[in-house]
Amino acid sequence: MYGKSLILALSFLLVPAVAMAGGRKEEDLAKALAKYEKTGNVERCIQASRIRTSRVIDDYNILFIMKGKKAYLNTMKHRCSRLGFEKSFSYELHVNQLCNIDIITVFDSTGGIQGPSCGLEKFVEYKKKPKEDKKE
């Protein structure tokens, strides 16, 4: 009897935590995209040599920041476990492009072993917002 009550009590505690995690994910995504505006373009591939850096936002989203004023958001259809925690991944290129059919592999920093592999989706293009002039 006490076991069932404890499980029920713990499940009520987890519901707000899950809701808060979803809200935090949206906040993290909004913060990462704050300097950018959506262009409406969607690409199957991006030029790997043009990638300046990548920013892992969570287990679903990676922002590829390009040389110049563009960035591409890749939102994976399925959760890529530990990606948001580890914040690092690798990929193998066959040509100088990273495409929606490519697979990324999460680096597991705790054990030095290969983490899960996840499929990318199409890349949504963003461009940097113009800087606002400061008026005195």
The answer for 112, left when phi > 0, alpha when psi is -120 to 50, beta otherwise, is left
pLDDT band at residue 20 using 50, 70 and 90 as cut-offs: very low
**pLDDT, position 46:** 98
Per-residue pLDDT tens for 89-104?
999 998 999 999 999 9
The domain segmentation of the chain, as residue ranges, is 33-128
**pLDDT, position 8:** 34
Task: Specify the length of the chain in residues.
Answer: 136
**pLDDT, position 113:** 81
How much is the pTM?
0.78
Structure tokens, 85:
């925690």
User: Do 72 and 43 touch, CB atoms closer than 8 A?
Assistant: yes
Helices then strands, each counted (H, E), the chain:
2, 10
Side-chain-side CA neighbours of 45 within 13 Å: the count stands at 12
Q: What are phi and psi of 80, to 5 degrees?
A: -105, 95
b/e per residue, 24-48, with b = 16+ CB within 10 A? Answer: ebeeebeebbeebeeeeeeeebbee
